[in-house]
Amino acid sequence: MSNGQDRVVALLDMDCFFVQVEQRQNPHLRNKPCAVVQYNSWRGGGIVSVSYEARAFGVTKSMWADDAKKLCPDLLLAQVLESRGKANLTKYREASAEVMEVMSRFAMIERASIDEAFVDLTSTVRERLQKLQGQPVSADLLPTTYIEGFPQGLTTAEGTVEKEEMRKQGLLQWLDSLQSDNTSSPELQLTVGAVIVEEMRAAIERQTGLQCSAGISHNKVLAKLACALHKPNRQTLVSHGSVPQVFSQMPISKVRHLGGKLGASIIEILGIEYMGELTQFTESQLQSHFGEKNGSWLYAMCRGIEHEPVRPRQVTKTLGCGKNFPGKTALVTREQVQWWLLQLAQELEERLTKDRNDNDRVATQLAVSIRVLGDKRLSSLRRCCALTHYDAHKMSQDAFAAIRNYNTSGIQTEW
């Protein structure tokens, strides 16, 4: 078994992505407190992305725009386009594809969401180290990099030092501690990985005008955590040695894969709060509570070790669309249900056709899922059927057939 330091993995995540896409299009929105809303007739619309200027006022995602305006009266708003009565995300998907294209020039990427991707830089780093021939890495190549846990043993009172000054001191201390002639040093490999990620981010900004942050570490979980440590427009290196300190105060639910049920049961069953506290349990204890696979994963993960590969995938595996009908907007007749299924199917038909042309592939399965109000699960009901034709009418009829038995009204024409 490896010691978990054999790979260099990075996660890049765009900063306030939808806001940046709108700011690129409309210069009046740049460098201002700004947010993107979806729909706007109810309480000014729901906020889906917030500029960092607006975050300083306490504006957050999922707030109503009317409430956000109370916190930040000068807040500028942009609206997500609507087609067929629902949000149309085409503009952001296209910007996402631009970004992914630039990233994939550097290395194999795994698209993880509309605005983030993992990269495995292991072999790219090895090649770069050969070119460097033992030359030390210069701090100039890492202008936006934070080293987690550094500077160590600082004598100055922390509050009196500027953030940028601290970053530089930490970086210089870290670079001094590296043995630049030992190409098998995991710390040196991460550092060269960070140099490459600086280049990737600069290329993304030059080519698309969009900024992002990044995390560099030995696995996906740590890379993702690292990325969030110094947003926006910065990147953070988390070494194996910094894991105990990072995990000592890291709430369990903040760790990738532990945001849901498993994380909640760990907190409840073991009575702990932070990721680091998991190290006090043996592997078999963890397995007895959470199953063999989860137990082993947790035992290694809390020590900073994880092996999930970065899978080559630049496009999404599934293509989906949906709409919520809260409160009074609830669908109550068969006609309404069928009409909305057709609207969704029309969007699907359009996107499937484009996907077939762009990516040379066809979809074979159609899944319909329904979530009823108050259900905490992702879906209350999910049914699948074959997808044989990219035809909105056919898809909406098949979808209706798949869910018709779910109608609880007892009357065919009512829902």
Number of C-beta neighbours around residue 175 at 10 A? 19
Q: What are the residues facing 77 on neighbouring strands?
A: 35
Instruction: Tell me which residues in 173-212 interact with ligand DCP (CB under 6 A).
Output: none
* Per-position x/- string for 221-250, each x denoting binding to ligand DCP as judged by CB under 6 A, each - no binding: ----------xx------------------
Q: Choose from ligand DCP, Mg ion, none: what does 48 bind? Cβ within 5-8 Å by kind.
A: ligand DCP
355: contact with ligand DCP by CB under 6 A: no
Q: By CB under 6 A, name the one of 11, 14, 266, 310 that touches ligand DCP.
A: 14
- Between residues 128 and 231, which has the closer beta carbon with respect to ligand DCP? 231
Spatial CB neighbours of 250, under 8 Å, sequence gap ≥ 6 = 225, 274, 275, 276
13: contact with ligand DCP by CB under 6 A: yes
CA distances to 41, 323, 336, 344 from 340, rounded to whole Å, are 20, 9, 6, 6
Decide: 235 and 202 in contact? Cβ < 8 Å: no
- Between residues 228 and 330, which has the closer beta carbon with respect to Mg ion? 228
- Between residues 17 and 118, which has the closer beta carbon with respect to ligand DCP? 17
114: contact with ligand DCP by CB under 6 A: yes
Total of residues contacting ligand DCP (CB under 6 A): 12
Total of residues contacting Mg ion (CB under 5 A): 4
Q: How far is the CB of 18 from ligand DCP (least distance, A)?
A: 4
Q: Choose from ligand DCP, Mg ion, none: what does 306 bind? Cβ within 5-8 Å by kind.
A: none
CA distances to 54, 120, 214, 259, 265 from 262, rounded to whole Å, are 34, 27, 26, 8, 5
Helix axes 186-208, 163-177, angle to 10 degrees: 140
Whether residue 116 lies in the annotated active site = yes
Out of 22, 53, 110, 116, the active site residue is 116
Q: By CB under 5 A, name the one of 22, 53, 110, 115 that touches Mg ion.
A: 115
With CA atoms as reference, report the closest residue to 95 among 8, 207, 12, 11: 207
86: contact with ligand DCP by CB under 6 A: no
The dihedral through the CA atoms of 54, 232, 298, 278 has a sign that is negative
22: contact with Mg ion by CB under 5 A: no
Spatial CB neighbours of 222, under 8 Å, sequence gap ≥ 6 = 9, 215, 238, 243, 304, 306
Binding site for ligand DCP (CB under 6 A): 13-18, 48-49, 114-115, 231-232
